[in-house]
Copies of this chain bind each other. A is one copy, B any other.
Amino acid sequence: MSTRIAICCPGKPLRRARADKVAALAAEEFPEVALEFHEQCFVEDGHFAGDDATRLAAFLECANDPDIDAIWFGMGGYGSNRIARAAIGGLKAAAGGKDYLGYSDTGTLLGALYREGIGRPAHGPLVGDIRREGGDEVIRRAMRYLTGASTPDDLEPNLDDRPAAAFNLMTLAMLVGTEFMPDLTDHVLLVEEVGEHLYAVDRLMFHVTEHVRGIAGLRLGRVSAVPENDRPFGTDEIAIARDWCARTGVPYLGRADIGHDAANKIVPFGLAGRDLRA
């Protein structure tokens, strides 16, 4: 049976050359898959892949199409929070049967979908990850997942019998306490970060751990591309995570194999999406 995957960009645009590369790989290796790039992916409007109305309309067209099986976000960037309220409000029944895959800024939409019990959101590669070294394998991982053919290596290795959720730390910090934040009580929470100073990571961990006291525990993905600061922070990201977990009574469960990189494994939200694929 063929799988139809629609691609849209709730934040920043996808470069057409990257889309073409993913389309070529898909045609070669996943001939049973129809990859449908919404033209909105390539719109440029200031910071965004089109203004809010354009990005919203594309998301709703894809999500509400009963012939589409999965929404794969093209890029992160910034902006999914700007359309989240209208996006959730505009979803119809057809949106519920789908997979939704992405990470980074798109975590806002994934979180909101999970909160509302709509579809099967999962934290994992974006289409634009084709640009990374090893990008072909990243795309294969995502496409195996979206076609129900995941190998055990495709999923985060530390998933257990508890529900899970994964987020970029900054995205989560901006999500907590808002109308889009899902209830993560008893969940294992996985976080990753990129491009932030360690003092900012410390500050984000303070904020997030204050908000998620009822979680089963926290796992730390990779914290990469930390900028050079005018003075060293004094500890590393593991000590930071352990510290804030200890301060707020959240169990620190160790590392997670997620991050802004080619190794970024897939974390289906909740308990769904594992038995079918692993």
Binding site for B on A (CB under 8 A): 44-48, 78-79, 81-82, 85, 170, 173-174, 176-179, 198-200, 202-204, 206-207, 210-211, 229, 231-235, 247
Contact = CB atoms under 8 A, between A and B. Distances in A.
A46 B235 contact: yes
Contacts of A48: 234
A85 B247 CA distance: 10
Given A78-B202, A199-B78, A178 B234 contact: no
A229 B235 CA distance: 29
Copies in the complex: 2
Given A47-B234, A78-B202, A173 B174 contact: yes
Given A78-B202, A178-B210, A210-B179, A232 B47 contact: yes
A219 to B, nearest CB: 22
Contacts of A199: 47, 78-79
A224 to B, nearest CB: 18
Contact of A174 (B81, B198, B207, B233): B207
Given A47-B231, A48-B234, 9 more contacts: A44-B231, A78-B202, A82-B202, A173-B173, A173-B174, A174-B204, A177-B177, A177-B211, A178-B210
A231 B13 CA distance: 12
A13 to B, nearest CB: 10
17 contacts: A44-B231, A46-B231, A46-B232, A47-B198, A47-B229, A47-B231, A47-B232, A47-B233, A47-B234, A81-B203, A82-B202, A82-B206, A174-B206, A176-B177, A177-B210, A178-B206, A178-B207
Contacts of A231: 44, 46-47
A225 to B, nearest CB: 15
Contacts of A174: 173, 203-204, 206-207
Nearest to A206: B81
Contacts of A46: 231-235
Nearest to A178: B210
A103 B81 CA distance: 28
Contacts of A176: 177
Contact of A45 (B44, B47, B234): B234
